Amino acid sequence: MEDDLLTGIKAGVVAGRLGGMGDMTRAALDTGVPAADIMSLGLIEAMSIVGEKFEKKEYFVPEVLVSARAMHESMDVLRPLLEASGVEPLARVTMGTVKGDLHDIGKDIVSIVLTGAGFEVQSLGADVPSEKFVEAAAGGAGVVGMSSLLTTTRPRMAEVIRLLEERGLRDGVKVIIGGAAVTEGFANEIGADGYGADAAQAVRLVKSLLGIQ
């Protein structure tokens, strides 16, 4: 039963079934499937299948867009559960997808998981101008997190770091990056403080950079 519901959620995202994803997600939670499992085994696995279909040209942008909307319907149900840490925020993290890039699913997942781990996350959204990240650092964010899924938008990350240096803000903030277009090597190359391959790694990274156990 639980497996059927998880399989149904995954299939629903792949097929872009809109309207019923919220109910299906609530039904899975009611039968005891943990929210984190729905996220990782249902939603994230589904989007990787969508990605493969896009690469093989079985899916095109409209299909991918509908799958992304179906994923958001389910995430809306999971968000309050995954975000509820019930403790004082450990630190403020500003998260956004860089300018020119509209991919927001991965960045949203990382934000939800960081919030659940006790951080206050300020989400700047997607297609965020470099200046906005700098403003967030000037406003006291302890960590600036940038996501990029398009290789063409990767230079924006280096730009943010350069602007932080120019404004004298770089020493007061940790910069982390992630998303399918970047790697650990790229993070080192541009002088970021770290790279997270997924949401769990991002949490470990932020904690270690801030010296939190």
Instruction: List contacts with ligand B1M (CB under 6 A).
Output: 44, 47, 50-51, 54-55, 61, 64-65, 68, 100-107, 109-110, 145-147, 149-151, 176-181, 196, 198-199, 202
Residue 168's region, left for phi above 0, alpha for psi from -120 to 50, else beta, is: left
- Rounded to a whole number of angstroms, the minimum distance from the CB of residue 1 to ligand B1M is 26
- Rounded to a whole number of angstroms, the minimum distance from the CB of residue 17 to ligand B1M is 16
- Rounded to a whole number of angstroms, the minimum distance from the CB of residue 66 to ligand B1M is 9
- Rounded to a whole number of angstroms, the minimum distance from the CB of residue 90 to ligand B1M is 16
- Show the tokens assigned to 16: 């872009």
Q: How far is CA 55 from CA 60, 153, 158, 183, 187, in A?
A: 9, 19, 28, 20, 25
Give residue for tokens 């958001």.
Answer: 72
Looking at the Cβ atoms of 31 and 188, the one nearer to ligand B1M is 188
- Show the tokens assigned to 96: 């956004």
Looking at the Cβ atoms of 5 and 149, the one nearer to ligand B1M is 149
Q: What share of the chain is helix, strand, coil (3-state, %, to 5)?
A: 60, 15, 25
Looking at the Cβ atoms of 31 and 147, the one nearer to ligand B1M is 147
